[in-house]
Amino acid sequence: MNDSRKRFGATGEDVAVEYLCGKGYRILQRNYQLAFGEIDVVAYRDDCVCFIEVKTRENKLYGDPFEAVDEHKQKTIRKMAECYLAFKNLEDHDVRFDVISVIRTANERFVIDHLEDAF
């Protein structure tokens, strides 16, 4: 992935985190990485640990960003979540998997769509 794509993705994650904070989420971690994958955002709200995948796009020309979170990606995120919960001793909390779509419009604004309990 080239640097401009990485920066664009990071910008989308920044927008998503700002959105989540505005909705009362507490950010526990960003870009949680293990050898087999990464979770973009881990957040906490209403006694629930939320694992959030952020998909940032310029448009929907190649499909809805939610479609990019396929079965394989979901399996990886679930496995990552298990590791995170065990490492942080949070196994007793409710867990949810969300996807946030961030689309940058032509006038440099962002449209956010938050799908809670996506999978």
pLDDT single digits (tens) 13-63: 999 999 999 999 999 999 999 999 999 999 999 999 999 999 998 877 777
Cβ neighbours of 50 (radius 10 Å): 23
Q: Is the pLDDT of residue 9 over 90?
A: no
The pLDDT mean for the chain works out to 93
Q: Can you give the pLDDT at residue 111?
A: 93
Q: Can you give the pLDDT at residue 112?
A: 96
Q: Is the pLDDT of residue 1 over 70?
A: no
Instruction: For residue 27, give the H/E element and its range.
Output: strand 26-34
Tell me phi and psi for residue 24, to 5 degrees: 90, 10
Q: Can you give the pLDDT at residue 59?
A: 75
d(Cα 58, Cα 103) in Å, to the nearest integer? 6
Q: Can you give the pLDDT at residue 119?
A: 94
Alpha helical stretches, state H, the chain: 3-22, 71-87
Q: Can you give the pLDDT at residue 52?
A: 98
pLDDT (mean) for 93-105: 95
d(Cα 109, Cα 118) in Å, to the nearest integer? 25
d(Cα 89, Cα 92) in Å, to the nearest integer? 8
Cβ neighbours of 32 (radius 10 Å): 19
Nearest to 94 by CA among 45, 30, 40, 24: 45
- Supply the pTM of this predicted model: 0.91
β-bridge mates for residue 29, sequence order = 42
Q: Can you give the pLDDT at residue 44?
A: 98
